[in-house]
Amino acid sequence: MRMLNIITLILIIVGGLNWLLVGIADFDLVATLFGGQDSALATIVYVLVGLSALWQIMPLVKAMSVGETAAEADIGRTHR
């Protein structure tokens, strides 16, 4: 589970940086790297980034309900 959290966080960072580039330079890095916005590979990346954001809602809700320190400690204990 911990590895999945790391992977999803990386994908969210990639998505966030891509949106930064779109916002400031009108440049879609994902589309450029994977053959355009409508290509199958770019679509897969966009979907994975979105699913990663949904996945990260769980740790956020847990952190908000039990406190950030307790949530971090619990993740380390239960998923190793």
pLDDT (tens digit, 9 = 90+) per residue, 19-44?
999 999 999 999 999 999 999 999 99
pLDDT above 80: residue 78:
no
Whether 54 shows a pLDDT value over 80: the answer reads yes
In 3-state terms, what secondary structure has residue 68?
A: helix
Q: What is the DSSP string of 52-67?
A: HHHHTHHHHHHHHHH-
Q: How far apart are CA 10 and CA 48, in angstroms?
A: 11
Q: What is the pTM of this model?
A: 0.74
